[in-house]
């Protein structure tokens, strides 16, 4: 499920730009989530079949992108400078949140490193945040299964793989290199009580810790 923003009301709160991913537009909607992000993931694998990083591209929904782009165009130095500043703010907000990413290899939690390579751009009228999330230590994918979830813990944002209609796109989850792997994206399956609880949250309510995890899709990669 996806929720669009009330554009008129959202513009009144466009000063919250720097909190993208944590507190977007107070008052825009009266239920979680308040906006959505379409994302894709590419596993960066070295010649030895070791996973080095998760390359991610996040695209903010069209309505909020419009608000961001209008606001950033007024920054000193213009839109490009505004996008650069936004990128630094996004990164600073995501770091203590684990970059909204959890990953496991054969049921063992992976330790993720710090992001140093990232950019923010406008593409097709939407704001896109692209970054390389490294593992603390490269791990072999041979004869193993990787699972990951990308989600906003508060469920203020809904985060879904890039899709066409109701189906994830083929390029929403890819594996680089020559390693033979099978990929799939499992849909979220939250129980009705959590769906009801999320729908009743307004912008002044604090969601239960980790609520977004229950609404997250799961990327699964099994390699030979």
pLDDT at 22 over 80: no
Domain assignment of residue 166, yes or no:
yes
Domain assignment of residue 87, yes or no:
yes
Going by pLDDT thresholds of 50, 70 and 90, the confidence category of residue 184 is very high
pLDDT at 144 over 80: yes
Domain assignment of residue 113, yes or no:
yes
Domain assignment of residue 92, yes or no:
yes
Of the candidates 79, 101, 102, 97, which has an alpha carbon nearest to the alpha carbon of residue 17? 79
Domain assignment of residue 199, yes or no:
yes
Number of domains in the chain: 1
Q: Which helix (H) or strand (E) holds 59?
A: strand 50-60
- In which domain, by residue range, is 213 found? 7-223
The per-residue pLDDT of the chain, averaged, comes to: 84
User: Taking the model in full, what pTM does it have?
Assistant: 0.84
CB contact at 8 A, 58 and 128: yes
Percent of the chain with pLDDT strictly greater than 70: 81
Span 14-37, mean pLDDT? 50
pLDDT at 160 over 60: yes
Span 126-149, mean pLDDT? 97
Domain assignment of residue 186, yes or no:
yes
Strand order in the sheet with 145-150: 108-109, 101-105, 145-150, 218-223, 181-186
Domain assignment of residue 57, yes or no:
yes
pLDDT score, position 169: 96
pLDDT score, position 29: 41
Collect all residues with Cβ–Cβ distance below 8 Å to 14 and sequence separation of at least 6: 25, 67, 68, 70, 71
Domain assignment of residue 2, yes or no:
no
pLDDT at 10 over 70: no
Going by pLDDT thresholds of 50, 70 and 90, the confidence category of residue 208 is low
């Amino acid at each position: 499920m996806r929720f669009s923003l009330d554009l008129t009301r959202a513009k009144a709160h466009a000063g919250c730009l720097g909190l993208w991913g944590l507190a977007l537009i107070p008052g825009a909607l009266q239920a979680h989530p308040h906006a959505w992000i379409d994302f894709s993931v590419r596993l960066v694998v070295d010649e030895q079949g070791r996973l080095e990083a998760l390359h991610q591209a996040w695209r903010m929904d069209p309505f909020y992108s419009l608000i961001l782009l209008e606001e950033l165009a007024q920054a000193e130095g213009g839109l490009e400078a505004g996008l650069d500043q936004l990128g630094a703010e996004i990164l600073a907000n995501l770091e203590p949140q684990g970059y909204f990413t959890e990953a496991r290899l054969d049921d063992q939690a992976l330790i993720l490193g710090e992001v140093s390579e990232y950019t923010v751009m406008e593409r097709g009228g939407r704001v896109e945040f692209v970054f390389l999330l490294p593992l603390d230590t490269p791990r072999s994918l041979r004869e193993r299964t990787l699972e990951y979830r990308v989600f906003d813990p508060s469920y203020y944002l809904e985060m879904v793989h890039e899709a066409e209609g109701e189906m994830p796109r083929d390029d929403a989850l890819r594996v680089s290199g020559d390693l033979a792997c099978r990929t799939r994206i499992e849909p979220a399956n939250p129980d009705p009580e959590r769906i009801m609880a999320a729908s009743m949250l307004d912008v002044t309510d604090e969601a239960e810790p980790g609520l977004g995890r229950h609404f997250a899709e799961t990327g699964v990669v099994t390699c030979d």
